[in-house]
Amino acid sequence: MDALEMLAKLLPEEQFEKIKAIDNPELHAFLAEWIEWLEPSRVFVCTDSEEDELYVRWKALYYGEEKVLETPNHTVHYDNYYDQARDKANTKLLVSGGKEIPFLNTMDRGEGLREIRELMKGVMKGKELFICFFVLGPKNSIFTIPAVQLTDSAYVAHSEFILYRKGYEEFKRLGRNARFFRFVHSAGELDERKTSKNLEKRRIYIDLEDETVYSVNTQYGGNTIGLKKLAFRLTIQKAVREGWLSEHMFLMRVNGPNGRKTYFTGAYPSMCGKTSTAMIPWENIVGDDLTFILPVNGIARGANVEKGVFGIIQGVNPEDDPIIWQVLHSPVEIIFSNVLVKDGKPYWSDMGIEIPDEGENHSGKWWKGKKDKEGNEIPPSHKNARFTVSLEHFPNVDLEALNNPCGVEIGGMIFGGRDADTWPPVREAFGWEHGVITMGASLESETTAATLGKEGVRAFNPMAILDFMSVPLGDYIRNYLEFGKKLRKTPKIFAVNYFLRENGKWLNHKLDKAVWLKWMELRVHGDVDAIETPIGYIPRYEDLKRLFKEVLNKDYTREDYEKQFTIRVPELLEKIERIEKIYRDKVKDVPEELFRVLEEERKRLLEARARHGDYISPFVLG
Ligand code: SPV
Ligand code: MN
């Protein structure tokens, strides 16, 4: 029996017709195989119609995966108390022979497929399967990658409607030519709170050969929303093969003098200020998490892979995040996840207003002082609690850039980590190679609650992408270096650090990044000079003083500047040691340039130390 005939048997006519309208035998075969295997009790195929989207939204409520809140269009979703973040240990890349690749969690492909298939056999009995079509990147563009999602979670499907551009018509248009990604997800058996129950059998397996990802016994978005971090593993592989960049980066517009628009990407590990930078009030957001960057006629052009935000809610407060605050308090479609709810209103930790001391949260019924099984006090909302909302609802979105099929020209690329004592708040690389190696490939950050495991440990996280890396790191860095050679104009590269501390106290205010952005914008166009240091260019005091006044209406003191921009030679040298050691000992096949560029930086630091000592004031250099 051919796949279409099988589908005609498996599906009610109305659903079958929607599939039949797509002329793609490969898709038909995939669907027939998996519908038969998963054994759902019902199947719903989503087209791009408003009606089908509403159907999914309704089903999320009907099946109890979401509940309504008081504000129209707001819902809340809970993940299991122990399913609140990406599960790194159980996320594996399936590669033939199970070859070990440093920093990647690999597993033999055959074995992985057997295991995951077993876990998924008949897993949708009694449940409804949603078949959804989306695209990564703007539609009908050089960036577009079509994808099909199978899931028994209406919450996952609903999230995808908020976060991605619809793709059913695109599949129809592309027909047999579509090369598409596939995602198969099941939340597995649910408990009475409608959260995944069998967490010990939680698995996320990424088949790099078939460009298919399987996810089971989990609901947390980072483990389940196919087009987000699951697709990301596939696009990294694709980009390295094809010579472009698929990055864990926001995309934003920084507004320069006289209406000048300059676009920046930014890579920061989770919880290091990425979303709040992309959302900063003075500027305009294009995307907050994933960016594709393609070389077009020698220019690096970027596009947001998504059209919505799955953002961290903890700490969002009216003073520091006025725009997000405003959006979260307007009656637009929003899914709140793992927050505290009381009388139909959502609350979260550190929201800057008083919050109730009881209600419902990710632990079920909650009261202040409640402890979990491990004896830890449960906060009002989980640290990784999130909101899901479309970017179109943000007053500061740059819709033209978001929808532009040609993307936007990238003026600057920013790398930022959580670092208490080494990097200055902002600096510019000497050039592409220097930036890629000493900033991107050398990124370290203290671990956070975005993944399961211990927090606050300094961890190597090149390009903030390590959690998602799907190719050998050496290949990935080589591709970056090669990418620069394809350009006639490379974006400027910058590194930022919002987390400098002295005696446990922050050296910067949360909003200082607004000033760093304006400075970087000016640097992209050569409008201000800078001070050359051993580790790149840093701002001059006069320029920052002026910008602090203009942007924040603050008097920026020489003392603050000196403290923040001191070149900390011992820490910088230690960092080079650490990074070099990792690349020498742990990563195979590293481009030689990497060691050369690190060595040059070390030399510059040693020379500077010989002349000026361990801690070099920027006033000495400037
Ligand atoms: C991140 O942790 O980097 C996120 C959220 O953007 S997740 O979808 O979990 O990856
Ligand atoms: Mn992310």
Rg (CA), the chain: 24
The residue type found at 316 is V
Which secondary-structure segment (H or E) carries 443?
none
The residue type found at 488 is R
* Residue 139 near residue 117 (C-beta atoms within 8 A): no
Answer whether 346 contacts ligand 1 (Cβ < 6 A).
Answer: no
Q: Which residues contact 54 (CB under 8 A, 6 or more apart)?
A: none
Calpha distance 603→616 (Å, rounded): 15
For residue 619, count CB atoms less than 10 angstroms from its CB and return exposed for 0-12, middle for 13-18, buried for 19 or more. middle
DSSP codes, 351-373 = -SS---SEEEETTEEEETT-B-T
Answer whether 228 contacts ligand 1 (Cβ < 6 A).
Answer: yes
Q: Of the residues 225, 228, 306, 447, which should be mutated to test ligand 1's pocket, given the most ligand atoms within 8 Å of the CB?
A: 228
- CB 457: neighbour CB atoms within 10 A? 10
Answer whether 106 contacts ligand 1 (Cβ < 6 A).
Answer: no
Taking the centre of ligand 1 as the mean of its atom positions, its distance from the CA of residue 222, in whole angstroms, is: 5
Residue 427 has phi, psi (to 5 degrees) of -160, 160
Which secondary-structure segment (H or E) carries 323?
helix 322-328
Answer whether 223 contacts ligand 1 (Cβ < 6 A).
Answer: no
Calpha distance 511→154 (Å, rounded): 38
Read off the tokens for 36: 């038969």
For the chain, give the number of residues. Answer: 622
Sign of the Cα pseudo-torsion (582, 588, 592, 593, in order): negative
Calpha distance 452→92 (Å, rounded): 15
Read off the tokens for 199: 């967490």
Single out the residue of 414, 387, 396 nearest to residue 273, CA to CA: 414
Taking the CA of 271 as reference, the closest ligand is 1
Share of the chain above pLDDT 70, in %: 99
Calpha distance 45→327 (Å, rounded): 31
Which residue has a Cα nearest atom 5 of ligand 1? 222
Residue 542 has phi, psi (to 5 degrees) of -60, -40
- pLDDT confidence of residue 455: 60
Residue with tokens 């089908």: 52
Taking the centre of ligand 1 as the mean of its atom positions, its distance from the CA of residue 289, in whole angstroms, is: 8
Calpha distance 486→336 (Å, rounded): 42
Answer whether 221 contacts ligand 1 (Cβ < 6 A).
Answer: yes
pLDDT bin (cut points 50, 70, 90) of residue 271 is confident
Read off the tokens for 489: 């104009």
pLDDT above 90: residue 450? no
* Residue 160 near residue 134 (C-beta atoms within 8 A): yes
- pLDDT confidence of residue 275: 85
Calpha distance 464→441 (Å, rounded): 9
Calpha distance 493→435 (Å, rounded): 5
Across residues 418-433, what is the average pLDDT?
A: 96
Active site (catalytic) residues:
272
pLDDT bin (cut points 50, 70, 90) of residue 452 is low
Calpha distance 533→542 (Å, rounded): 17
Beta strand extents in 119-244 (DSSP E only): 128-136, 145-151, 165-166, 181-186, 203-207, 212-216
* Mean pLDDT for all residues in the chain: 96
489 secondary structure, DSSP code: B
Answer whether 222 contacts ligand 1 (Cβ < 6 A).
Answer: yes
Which residue has a Cα nearest atom 3 of ligand 1? 270
- pLDDT confidence of residue 457: 77
Model confidence pLDDT, tens digit, residues 543-557 = 999 999 999 999 999
Across residues 509-526, what is the average pLDDT?
A: 97
Single out the residue of 460, 385, 477 nearest to residue 419, CA to CA: 460
Taking the centre of ligand 1 as the mean of its atom positions, its distance from the CA of residue 611, in whole angstroms, is: 44
Q: What is the dihedral of CA 597, 603, 608, 609, to 10 degrees?
A: 120
Model confidence pLDDT, tens digit, residues 50-97 = 999 999 999 999 999 999 999 999 999 999 999 999 999 999 999 999
Q: Of the residues 91, 235, 270, 452, which should be mutated to test ligand 1's pocket, given the most ligand atoms within 8 Å of the CB?
A: 270
- pLDDT confidence of residue 504: 86
Read off the tokens for 557: 């003191």
pLDDT above 90: residue 446? no
Taking the CA of 270 as reference, the closest ligand is 1
Model confidence pLDDT, tens digit, residues 455-503 = 667 899 999 999 999 999 999 999 999 999 999 999 999 999 999 999 9
Read off the tokens for 161: 């409607």
